Amino acid sequence: MHPARNSHLLILSLAATGLLTAMPTLSAPILDGQVLGGGAPIANSTVTLWAAGDRAPKLLGQARSGADGRFTIPAHATVAGSSLYLVAQGGEPTANKSVGNNTAIALMAVLGNKPPARVTINEMTTVASVWTHNQFLDGSALSGPPLSLGIAAGNVPNFVDPQTGGYGSMIQSDLNSSQTPTMANFATLSSVLAGCVSRIKADACESLFAAATGRDGKVPANTLAAAHSIARDAGYRPERIFALLDAFYPVPNGKKLRSIPYLPYLSVAPSAWILPLKFAGGGYVGGAKVLFDSQGNAWSGANFIVGSQGGDALWDGNLAKFSPNGKPLSPMTTGFAGGGLLGPGFGTAIDANDRVWITSTSGKTVSLFDKSGKPLSPPEGYNFGGKLSTMQGIIVAPNGDVWAVDFGDDKVIYLPKGDPSKVQFFCQSTDGKPNKDSPCQLSGPFHMVIDQQDRIWIDNAIGDTVTRFPASDPSKVEVFKTGGHSGKGMAVDSGGNVWVTNTLGSGMTLETKLRLLALKLTGAPLPAIDRELLKDLLGHPGLGNVSLLRPDGTPVAGSPFNPTGSIWGAWAVSIDGNDHAWVSNFAPGGGITQLCGARTETCPPGMKTGDAISPSGGWKGGGMQMLVDVSIDPAGNVWVSNNWQDPAACYAKSDESHSTRCGGQGMTVFFGMAKPVRAPQIGPARPL
């Protein structure tokens, strides 16, 4: 029977039972497509069109594929706030006509809110859909907040062309493809799924399901479940899936390459089945702190202007913005400029109106931009009569107050309700000199957070302490030891525990500390201090750790943490919706470390607080360089900023041809790996 007639009969049947009234109103155009397995048609597969939203998905139409794998669903609707997706189940793979109906086949293609008229469903669309929607998939059902589903669906085309089922544009771009293993990871996963789809061996599906079984012990029953199990536990025994490459597609005698559905394929087992992509543009080089607005757009300061040779002697960059799918939205070379912004550091914050607050290290200012990138601060920025020095961290409190720290002058800047005309300064020393008689015992304050009790916590980049005071009374200062040196990033989990990254761990030598203090007291610029820190860091691989302090300031047992030695140059930390801690590393090759948090029930079985969920070397890939920030968006994607790529270029000691390579290139995004959090993040992270 013709597939279109089948779908008409389904609609008539639903109407007769009264179920059609619960479905959204359908409208043209017709949706045509084809189901493929291993590059060949799958006949007699049941194809269902669904609308995903924040409740159970709604069935919009159904058809059965013909002998050529083609199907037609005669009418579909763009349901407000929904994301459309197709699931193909069962069918006869023509790549192996001896198989007959293969009930283990389950393939997916997420189309988003405005699908093309013609689509393909195959292994590549399945991998792309599953990894981007990892946090919202339950069996074959998708559900989640509209914003989150929209972000996830918008990233599917970065991996796969929904019309052809072939590669998407971003995974084939110069930044990815041959520069990272992501394309080979993606194709290898797709080929392994294809081995089951076509039952290339009699036990191919059973082999796949065994290799895809995660730490929870749940054995998948079809290819969609297998893909999701791999994505959900990407770092668990990845060599098992890789071994299927040889089992399914051995190199034929006398040949050099495997006869395989998708190229390229991996030559060695990966450390994890992850699919990071790298994005650039929008005036973004030497990326710093990353935050998301209410629409999921990523905002970040850029240390340098694209193509400049300024290096660490002069931070001259501006502000960049990326859409949730990595498309640059700021001007290509300069980014968003003006408003007194010059060389932002680790100070970016977004308020409830999606306005961006950002500090300057070179410009010694606080600047403000609206959601379109237009500067709202004056041309000279907010410098309060020249009272600011080298600025770093800035936050927006839940009540709308804005707080910032002055790294150079060891003081705190307070803007009640974000009003610069009412600025106040706290923690200033009585003699006006940094680190002398400071009432808050600040020493190179770098970042700050506010906890659930409205207490401000500040870490010290030149020292081993954090400072805390009530937002309502900064005179009530408490100081706590962290157990690590050179605090950079901070985050608060749902229990009010405070995580602090210590770039130099517990290993900073006394000689280094004395040199840093001497530089600070003589008013040395930030680059000179950075140079000393970097020398100590790069000379000690594995240096760095993460501290965890309870709400009362006492350390949690085992703190500071550096499990498996994967932390080297810990810089930033973010908390996801499961209270896991994600740590970026300012070291060659970058890498991010995922730690089990205080809520151990959300961690893999047997893990305790501070244990590494990520592989022994951390999550790698995506062309990462020396990282500063790690941030989580509402779809569970983990964004990391590449800050430096060539330290020699930063200090004007490289060959002329490499002289513009100080700043790190672009942003790397790991898809669907973290439990999502709300945006903008104001105060502690909040799960969806």
The residue from 159, 192, 220 where one domain ends is: 159
For 281, half-sphere exposure in the C-beta direction (CA atoms, 13 angstrom radius) is 16
Ranges under pLDDT 70 in the chain: 1-29, 75-78, 310, 430-438, 507-513, 520, 524-530
* 211 and 109 both lie in a single domain: no
The residue out of 248, 268, 293 marking a domain boundary is 248
Q: What is the CATH number of the domain that holds 10?
A: 2.60.40.1120
Q: What is the CA radius of gyration of the chain?
A: 26
Decide if 687 is inside a domain. no
Bridge partners, residue 21, by sequence: none
Same domain, residue pair 656 and 615: yes
- Residue 541 included in any domain: yes
Neighbours of 113 (CB within 10 A): 17
Residue 678, in any domain of the structure: no
Residues 116 and 192 in one domain: no
- Provide the Cα torsion 78, 80, 82, 88; round to 10°: -20
| Same-domain pairing of 150 and 197 | no
- Does any domain span residue 154? yes
Q: Which pLDDT score is estimated for 15?
A: 32
* Inside any domain, residue 221: yes
DSSP string over 287-317: EEEEEE-TT--EEEEESS-TT---GGG----
Q: Is residue 65 part of a domain?
A: yes
pLDDT computed for residue 650 by the predictor: 86
Statement to judge: residues 11 and 74 lie in one domain: yes
What confidence score (pLDDT) does residue 656 get? 87
Q: Is residue 270 part of a domain?
A: no
Whether 408 and 434 have beta carbons less than 8 Å apart is answered as yes
Task: Give the Cα separation of 587 and 329 in Å (integer).
Answer: 29
The pLDDT of residue 13: 35
Element (H, E) at 412: strand 411-415
209 shares a domain with 137: no
CA distance 621 to 277: 8
Q: From edge to edge, which strands make up the β-sheet containing 411-415? A: 391-396, 402-406, 411-415, 424-426
d(CA 205, CA 194): 10
In a shared domain, residues 83 and 212: no
Domain count of the chain?
Answer: 3
SS3 510: helix
Among 151, 92, 196, 106, residue whose Cα is nearest residue 635:
151
pLDDT at 589: 76
Q: What is the pLDDT of residue 439?
A: 79
Q: According to the model, what pLDDT value does residue 451 have?
A: 98
pLDDT one-digit tens code per residue, 524-579: 666 666 677 777 788 778 889 999 999 999 999 999 999 988 899 999 999 999 99
The answer to whether residues 93 and 201 belong to one domain is: no
What's the rounded Cα separation, in Å, for the pair 285 and 17?
A: 59
| Per-residue pLDDT at 7 | 36
Quick one: pLDDT at residue 19? Answer: 32
Task: Give the CATH number, domain containing residue 331.
Answer: 2.120.10.30
Instruction: Name, in order, each residue with C-beta under 8 angstroms of 438's C-beta and a sequence gap of 6 or more.
Output: 410, 427, 428, 429
- Picking from 133, 159, 185, the residue at the C-terminal end of a domain is 159
Closest alpha carbon to 190 in 134, 142, 235, 128: 128
* Residues sharing a CB contact under 8 Å with residue 235, sequence separation 6 or more, in sequence order: 271, 272, 274, 613, 614, 615, 619
Judgement on whether residues 184 and 154 belong to the same structural domain of the protein: no
Is residue 212 a part of any domain in this protein? yes
Same domain, 446 and 414: yes
State the residue range of the domain holding 219: 177-248
Q: Is the dihedral of CA 59, 64, 65, 70 positive or negative?
A: negative
Residues 152 and 295 in one domain: no
Residues 475, 624 within the same domain: yes
